[in-house]
Amino acid sequence: MMIKKKGIILVLFFMAMFQLQAQDYNNFKIGKSIEIYSNVMRQLNLNYVDTIQPVDLTNLAIKTMLASLDPYTIYVPEKDREEFQIFIQGEYGGIGAVIQKQGDYVVITDPYQGFPAQKAGLRAGDKIVKIDGKSAKNMSADQVSNLLKGTPGSKIQITIQHFGDTTDTTVAMERQKIKIPNVPYYGVLKNDIGYISLNQFNPNAANDVRNAFLDLKNNYHIKGVILDLRNNGGGLVNEAVNIANIFVKKGTEIVQTIGKLKSNDYTYRTTGKIVDGKIPLAILVNQNTASASEIVSGSMQDLDRAVIIGQRTFGKGLVQNIVPLPYGGEMKVTIAKYYIPSGRCIQAIDYAHKNKQGEPIRVPDSLRRAFKTKDGRIVYDGGGITPDIKMKPTVFSQVTGDLYGQNYIFNFANMYAKDHKSISGPDSFRISDSTFQAFKNYVKSKGFSYETETGALLKRLKQSAQRENYYQALKPEIDSLNLTLKDEKQHDLDKHKKEIDELLRLEIVGRYYYQSGKAEASLVNDNEVTRAVQILSNKKEYESILKPKKDAKK
């Protein structure tokens, strides 16, 4: 026994010595690299034919170096710190509107309800002509955005042209603190099922979810709740833990971080009193559900506390921290990976290894390892959270995508709002046949055109045939196919009426009821929400999903 113990001590000693030697060698290489870099910069300054810009070159060198690691490790120079903090905190000083470049000008696309732009009468489709008397023509969206932002309380004058008008209107407003709500909408659906949409994990996200849940529980006596984390890219880890705490008891492990430094190893446990540990819970996810959203959905799955519905999540299992740098700069650096209660890490991409094209490697399904939930269900690591109920994502046709991307749906909604003072509620408004016909007429009058994948293939076929001297022989068939395709495209709007209707409906609702109304309207034809309601309304089905399969216990 003593010999065995001595052997273990010797192994640990040699391991520690090896790690120290490796660290010393790495430190030597770092010192050598810094010396080489400083000498290259010095020689450029002395010998290069033109005057160099050392700061720009250094920023480029740092950016290129960090790009070889992962997309989350970034350098923030002093000049960009304020904008970076705005991004991190989810709030800024401004007028409260989403903007987009369209033609020569930037256009308001989505004013936020209750903020200066909407209060001053700015509407979707308004063209920003001047800002504080300065012409905004040919400005980029970023340039306009920078001019619109400012210290809360400061004043700004914006000259606009309302959609469809040619006269200028100047409005004065006072910038205010803009904070996009974490919970844009919550309400009660069919069968007394509650619904909460969470867009981000910024400060107070957990309190916002808790307050929404308590309102639904106490005032509407819901029998189940849906937490919608689709397209939620994550945010603060502590907010994720506190959201989990709404549904699981105090002291429950939610996530663990493990990094190179022991100081970065930490186990996050719930610290507050549970709100409701029994109410049936469904969480909606998709391929854009990432980071803190995966902590919530993954931990609830591992603890058998919720049914996960949708598509496999993004797979971001990396943790970042902000570290200060000299001269006012900062670096957001990946310091650890996180592991949810079953012990699995759901990071999908291995940034440390690259393929022949120099791209990071995605963990293949064949290498995903099996873990078990609290009650013994099989779950897997290495590729996001796989839903308990898998559903196909909504995929729009080429014609619908082009109608949306070329702003035909956006502009028609502006026309509709100009001609209609009001509409019915977000959940009851529908696109009538006459409205759809008016949209078709509008699209035709504007000469809408788009290229299908089939059209692109025919074009390439013609080019290949010409290059290989087959064109004259194949010309009748190619021409015939092009004519057939042209004729079929004439009917594309009718063929895809259902999905075009949906986007038109949401865009028009947004003109009257803003973001919360659009969120409410989107639930009407939402297959994943419908499935979640069905499961939460059926106790037997809900419990059967959360039970381990018989062969999983072997």
221 shares a domain with 160:
no
Which of 178, 211, 241 is the endpoint of a domain?
178
Q: What residues make up the domain containing 126?
A: 91-178
pLDDT at 266: 95
CA distance 322 to 72: 11
CA distance 430 to 436: 10
Q: State whether 107 and 191 are in the same domain.
A: no
* Positions of E strands within 150-234: 155-161, 169-174, 176-179, 185-189, 193-197, 224-228
Evaluate whether residue 366 is within a structural domain. yes
Which of 256, 262, 347 lies closest to 19 in space, CA to CA?
262
pLDDT of the residue at 359: 86
Residue 291 resides in a domain = yes
Q: Which positions are annotated as active-site residues?
A: 291, 302, 316
Per the structure block, which two tokens stand in for 119? 């209060």
Flag whether 34 is in a domain: no
What crossing angle do the helices spanning 292-302 and 237-244 adopt, rounded to 10°?
A: 30
Instruction: Find out whether 75 and 66 touch, Cβ atoms under 8 Å.
Output: yes
88 touches 235 (CB < 8 A): no
218 and 293 belong to one structural domain: yes
User: Which helix (H) or strand (E) covers residue 353, if one does?
Assistant: strand 349-354
Give phi and psi for 421, each to the nearest 5: -70, -30
Last residue of a domain, one of 390, 407, 428: 390
The answer to whether position 379 is within a domain reads yes
Are 406 and 492 found together in one domain?
yes
Beta strands in 242-295 (DSSP E): 253-259, 266-269, 281-285
CATH number of domain containing 150 = 2.30.42.10
How long is the chain?
Answer: 554
Decide: 128 and 99 in contact? Cβ < 8 Å: yes
Is 28 among the domain residues?
Answer: no
Nearest in space to 302 (alpha carbons), one of 247, 264, 355:
247
Instruction: State which H helix or E strand residue 455 sits in.
Output: helix 453-467
Cβ contacts of residue 134 below 8 Å, gap of 6+?
147
| Same domain as 433, residue 353 | no
Choose one of 390, 420, 439: the last residue of a domain: 390
- Decide if 16 is inside a domain: no
Pair (522, 413) in one structural domain: yes
My answer on whether 406 and 290 are in the same domain is no
Q: Which long-range contacts (CB under 8 A, 24 or more apart) does 318-327 make?
A: 318/70, 318/72, 318/347, 319/237, 319/257, 319/259, 319/264, 320/72, 320/73, 321/264, 322/88, 325/75, 327/78
Count the domains in the chain. 3
Q: Given CA atoms 127, 101, 289, 390 in this order, what sign does their dihedral have?
A: positive
Distances in whole angstroms, Cα of residue 178 to Cα of each of 110, 112, 196, 210: 14, 9, 22, 22
Do residues 99 and 153 share a domain? Answer: yes
Structural domain contains residue 477: yes
What does the block give as tokens for 18? Answer: 């090896």
* Residues 225 and 357 placed together within one structural domain of the fold: yes
Measured CA to CA, the distance from residue 195 to residue 283 in angstroms comes to 10
Does residue 450 sit in helix, strand or coil? coil
- Asked, for residue 327, whether it belongs to a domain, the answer is yes
157 lies in the same domain as 191: no
Helical packing angle, 497-522 and 433-445, nearest 10°: 120
374 and 329 housed in the same domain: yes
Q: Is 348 helix (H, G, I), strand (E, B) or coil?
A: coil
Element (H, E) at 55: helix 54-67
Rounded to 10 degrees, what is the CA torsion of 469, 473, 474, 475?
Answer: 100
Give me the tens of pLDDT residue by residue for the chain, a chain 554 residues long: 444 555 555 544 545 555 555 566 577 778 888 889 889 999 999 999 999 999 899 999 999 999 889 999 999 988 888 778 777 776 788 999 999 999 999 999 999 999 999 999 999 999 999 999 999 999 999 999 999 999 899 999 999 999 999 999 999 999 999 888 999 999 999 999 999 999 999 999 999 999 999 999 999 999 999 999 999 999 999 999 999 999 999 999 999 999 988 999 999 999 999 999 999 999 999 999 999 999 999 999 999 999 999 999 999 999 999 999 998 899 999 999 999 999 999 899 989 888 888 888 888 888 889 999 999 999 999 889 999 999 999 999 999 999 999 999 999 999 999 999 999 999 999 999 999 999 999 999 999 998 899 999 999 999 999 999 999 999 999 999 999 998 888 899 999 999 999 999 999 999 999 999 999 999 999 999 999 999 999 999 999 999 987 654 44
Same-domain status, 167 and 204 = no
Rounded Cα distance between 386 and 383, Å, is 8
Instruction: Work out the angle at residue 312's Cα, subtended by the Cα atoms of residues 367 and 389, and round it to the nearest 5 degrees.
Output: 115
